[in-house]
Structure 1
Amino acid sequence: MQKATYKDSGVDLELYQQSMARLPALMNRTRSPRVLPADGGFAGLFQLDFAGKLFARNYQDPVLVACTDGVGTKLKAAQLAGVHNTVGIDLVAMCVNDALCTGAEPLFFLDYIAMSHDDPERLADVVEGISRGCEETDCSLIGGETAIMPDLYARGDYDLAGFCVGVVDRAKLIDGKAIAPGDVVLGVASSGLHSNGFSLVRKIAFDIAGLKVDDHVDELGCTVGEELLKPTRLYVRPVRSVLSHYRKKQVVHGIAHITGGGLQENIERVLPAGAKLEIEPDTWAVPPVFSWLQRLGSVDADEMARVFNMGVGLALIVSDYYADSVRSQLADQGLESWAIGRITS
């Protein structure tokens, strides 16, 4: 009788160990003095010394903030292009940008990577992106999980999930309650599609238009794959710089991460009762990728606005008096922004 082995079923433990051996160096790049050694342990350790020297500033009444998200079918575009070292940035961005909407400082990040089979090189590419995203947001990658599931995923497929924990002082918590009529809505530029609407993007680009990932599009100035795989913009450092500048004033009354649902739906999520959002069309620069997709797919304007960010990846709702100052500070951080609307009663 033939003896069954784990390798015969699709999981190679020796190859899995090779995959795991590549990850500690990528994780160590993101570590700060707040991360405690836990080599060989079953969990990551992070020191909550809120009033001590390990944090950039003291927290009088700290509130933990937790977020989780994924990358969605943008992973299919990565597979078509054979490029896997940027979707990890998307994974981090989708989580830390959400945490930022509360005014939080991201503390640490965990990932979950599910793969069809052991692939050390692909896993290292994915985690390289996650590591870069964490570095750029001062967030420590302290652990994760890699699952090999050959019967659940088609060969070559993989999926990602991310988990972020941050902290904010209760007195500085941004929850939308301070939003009032007269506040200005500032739209902060996205890097493009970010990580939303890719089921529609792929249908238009590959099924309807019949394009390939390496086809060059003059209108975009790059290939289809290069445009689709532009990483989601990380807003943490610039926005936290703005918040720190006004640490003694409540200038930013609300923050919305513009993901699936578009501007209207995501901004309305943070509005208090009695407040109404008025978006002023044609007040910001829409990247060419959106008009390109709309034309190729004959997509209605309302559908575009409901599915995509249309060039605005983050919205700040700020006091009218400080709107120009906030825009100036964002510009100093390399972020373009526009006054795209107002809050009315």
Structure 2
Amino acid sequence: MGKKAGLTYRDAGVDIDEGDALVGDIQKIVRSTQRPEVLAGVGGFGAVVGIPKKYKNPVLVSGTDGVGTKLMLGLKTGLIEGLGQDLVAMCVNDVLVCGAEPLFFLDYYATGKLDRRVAARVIRGIARGCKLAGCALVGGETAEMPGMYPPGDFDLAGFCVAVAEKGKVIDGSKIKRGDVLIGLPSSGPHSNGYSLVRRILDLRKTRLDQPFGKATLAEALMAPTTIYVKPVLDLLAAGVPVRGMAHITGGGIPGNLPRCFPKGVGAVVDLQSWRRPEIFNWLQAQGDIDEDEMRRVFNCGLGFALVVPRLKADAALAQLKAAGTKPWILGEIVAGNQDVRFA
């Protein structure tokens, strides 16, 4: 009588072959993001990346994040391709605030049962984000954990390392009264405020496939987060002095803009200086949201802000426009207590 076969890892819900197949599926995608500094990437136990030779006294700047509950809306709508770009953007835009150049990125993809076709769609989005940021996707982790997640669910997290010249790190300490604020537009809510977004959708029993402008409501809400890296790095490379920057994420304008201010200054933001994208007006109306709460939760169309000397504002605007962005004068730096006032 033959010996009875014992349990396998697949019996427990983990398919090693599916994971190996995913690695094969994404190899070409990952290679398309590589930089000359990558010495060893996906496939080993650790990625090996050198420092670009143009830096004389380099320092490393790191950032990590996820995409929050926007992930749940992506799963509900099936619009998951942009989540990878969201993941990269939330990390690289943060390190960019220091004037740092994103060097490499790693992701963590966790699920109950791996579907390599779904995972590959997300990783393609991560690779697209890395290309937009100019950083290399050097590895990551795909974790299959039966019983941890409901069927079809997955979670994402990411980690970025950037490099900057030590003497050129931007920390806001040089910001002075009279400096000018420049705004860069967001593509929508980016990756913040989605617990409130989902609450509105549930309360109003909203159809996500309804027309919204030239798209559907789902597409408007799932627009990938804008990556500001290349236009801002081009601005710095052109020699335009930037004294401070802010990535407008959770906490909105009042919660993020002051993070780059030194003591003794604040900002006056001109609310008439830009047109709020319609998706924010829709959310405010549907949720009957107070204006202060809107500004505290959402970016309201302002994705990134820069502080420059007044005499260099025109040069900064011209350079940013040449890089394909749509900047505007957002306001000015005034005497204050690291606060934001709206006018």
Fold conserved between structures, TM > 0.5: yes
Partner of 2:46: 43
Q: Unaligned 5+ residue runs, structure 2?
A: 336-343
Matches within 5 A, 1:58-77: 58-77=54-73
Partner of 1:55: none
CA distance in 2, matches of 1:213, 1:28: 36
Partner of 1:146: 142
2:293 aligns with one of 281, 292, 303: 303
1:9 aligns with one of 9, 12, 26: 12
CA distance in 2, matches of 1:235, 1:40: 30
Partner of 1:263: 253
Partner of 1:281: 271
Counterpart contact for 1:66–1:166, Cα < 8 Å: yes
Q: Unaligned 5+ residue runs, structure 1?
A: 52-57
1:330 aligns with one of 314, 317, 320: 320
Moved more, 330-339 or 158-167: 330-339
Task: Percent identity, please.
Answer: 45
CA distance in 2, matches of 1:164, 1:39: 15
CA distance in 1, matches of 2:107, 2:230: 21
- 1:232-288 Cα deviation digits (max 9, x unpaired): 001001011111001xx6x21000000011112101111111111222222111100
CA distance in 2, matches of 1:120, 1:260: 31
TM-score of the superposition, structure 2-length normalised?
0.93
> Does residue 177 of the first structure (1) align with residue 173 of the second (2)?
yes
CA distance in 2, matches of 1:319, 1:40: 47
CA distance in 2, matches of 1:199, 1:42: 36
> Does residue 210 of the first structure (1) align with residue 213 of the second (2)?
no
Partner of 1:54: none
**Structure 2 counterpart of 1:108, which letter?**
F
- 1:188-222 Cα deviation digits (max 9, x unpaired): 11111111001111111x212212332223xx332
**Structure 2 counterpart of 1:226, which letter?**
E
Kindly state the Cα deviation for residue 224 of structure 1 after the two structures are TM-superposed. 1.5
CA distance in 1, matches of 2:179, 2:121: 43
SS of the residue 1:269 aligns to: helix
4+ long deviations beyond 4 Å = none
Moved more, 262-271 or 208-217: 208-217
Partner of 2:101: 105
CA distance in 2, matches of 1:221, 1:131: 27
**Structure 2 counterpart of 1:155, which letter?**
P
Partner of 1:245: 238
Kindly state the Cα deviation for residue 4 of structure 1 after the two structures are TM-superposed. 3.0
1:132 aligns with one of 114, 128, 131: 128
CA distance in 1, matches of 2:211, 2:274: 26
**Structure 1 counterpart of 2:174, which letter?**
A
Kindly state the Cα deviation for residue 149 of structure 1 after the two structures are TM-superposed. 1.4
- 1:287-330 Cα deviation digits (max 9, x unpaired): 00000110011011111000000000000011111112211211
> Does residue 120 of the first structure (1) align with residue 116 of the second (2)?
yes
> Does residue 224 of the first structure (1) align with residue 217 of the second (2)?
yes
Counterpart contact for 1:208–1:296, Cα < 8 Å: no
